[in-house]
Amino acid sequence: MTTIAATQFQVDDLTVQIHPTVEDLASTAAQAAADILQSAIDENGKASVIFATANSQVAFLDALISGQGTRWNIDWSKVTMFHMDEYLGLPHTHPASFRHYMMKNVEPRLKPRAFHYLEGDALEPLDAMQTYAELLAEHAPDLCCLGIGENGHLAFNDPPVADFNDPHPIKIVKLDEPCRMQQVGEGHFPHLDAVPPYALTLTIPALCAAKHMLAIVPEKRKAQAVLDTLTGPISTACPGSYLRTQPHCILFLDEESASLLPTAM
């Protein structure tokens, strides 16, 4: 896996890279993702990846897509894609739906073998979740690309519902207010009451079961969560802290998201 970083260090089992800009972060993380997927295709004839959907992931996803044909030539028809969360009850046509973003901006541009979506508006959500869990088991992920929320969440595993030993691959969760306010702040909903109170999410063990993990966490608004992730206790109070137990994970920061870290790091 090829990565170039301005600064790189370890925190427990986690590799951390700090890049000068969001663009540098996105470019390096996209190269790492492409290398992992190409290696899986070379070894097994196929690959599987889980993507996150959030404002913080846009530059990375754009870099991964725009690099096709110039920096790498992945046969996307051999890649199966998943995403990690979706609002319960929200139709995929809603602009804030994570499926909506992936259906519009990722799937048609890369044309993967398949893109399996969490159906938040399914008539029978529990059945849809079971089907999704079976697909994940069938296509064991080679790569999980995720972020860390402003409240430290991984996917929609907010502090009140995060479980590092969760027995389920997918669950329905109630979103805490800081998480819902993040969605308002990112411009996806006009006010707090418009944000769905519940969501479907892959659990933390399911995310960490991927062979490789890339945590893409730029922007100043993530600085406190990054500080808590890397310097606080490993605790569900900051679910992102669990990444420090994952030697197969690289955390990509820019100077803004790393701005609160001690200079000794």
Q: Are strands 47-51 and 79-83 parallel, antiparallel or unpaired?
A: parallel
Section 97-103 average pLDDT:
96
Nearest to 53 by CA among 24, 96, 10: 96
Q: What is the DSSP string of 169-189?
A: SEEEEEPPHHHHHHHHHTTSS
In the DSSP assignment, the letter for residue 140 is: -
Which pLDDT score, from 0 to 100, does residue 54 have? 87
Nearest to 260 by CA among 68, 18, 32: 18
Section 161-187 average pLDDT:
96
Res. 3: pLDDT tops 70:
no
The domain limits of the chain are 7-258
Q: Which band of pLDDT confidence, cut at 50, 70 and 90, is reported for residue 6?
A: confident
Residues 187-216 have pLDDT tens digits of 999 999 999 999 999 999 999 999 999 999
Which pLDDT score, from 0 to 100, does residue 2 have? 43
Which pLDDT score, from 0 to 100, does residue 5 have? 53
CA distance 242 to 244: 5
Largest CA distance in the chain: 52
Nearest to 263 by CA among 7, 45, 3: 7
Q: Are strands 249-254 and 14-19 parallel, antiparallel or unpaired?
A: parallel
The torsion defined by the Cα of 100, 134, 248 and 163, in degrees rounded to 10, comes to 80
Ramachandran class of 241: left when φ > 0, alpha when ψ lies in -120 to 50, beta otherwise: alpha
Output the pTM of the full model.
0.95
Which pLDDT score, from 0 to 100, does residue 159 have? 98
Section 74-99 average pLDDT:
96
Which pLDDT score, from 0 to 100, does residue 191 have? 95
Assign domain 7-258 one CATH number from 3.30.390.50, 2.60.40.10, 3.40.50.1360, 3.40.50.300: 3.40.50.1360
Highest mean pLDDT among 104-108, 185-189, 260-264: 104-108
